[in-house]
Structure 1
């Protein structure tokens, strides 16, 4: 497992982008659980964020692709609206303990 960040560096309802081992990643904390994905839209392969660390739609309840507006469920990465509906973000195995948030990189 690779260290992503300290637990307090990802607040409830917050999204953050990371570059780890050359991979662009994103993490979101929802209902106390951390979800991590590759920062890559399945539609065009482009990074998702609007601005640095801005991955969520205006309601904060969905991950949104800045390029074409595709919407993804935070807890599964499934695209529920937009040009890649039915596809999903590439999820990473993620765990959290008092020392940090950790992800498993499939290199």
Structure 2
């Protein structure tokens, strides 16, 4: 899986849009509008950052399964966010499911009025 394919997958989700608030090479992908928009995927050339679990303990399952390809994200890792390597031991279908789960987790926390049309929780 490469970053461009993953970006296209992310952008196909209802209400998803790219943003580049830190002028990085690759964007983050948000869902929602305006100030209420939330990031559900941090894209990098070699990894994707996702909400990997509701708690740090749940997200740590990725670290145990893929110790060389999953890591706690700096700053927000304590809230269940992990970096998952692209092109490593994590199969593409698991990367896609991780992004999908991150999207569901983030959209599910938005107030109902701010959830995108077409989203099925």
Larger radius of gyration: 2
Same fold (TM over 0.5): no
Structure 1 or 2: larger strand share?
1
Structure 1 or 2: larger helix share?
2
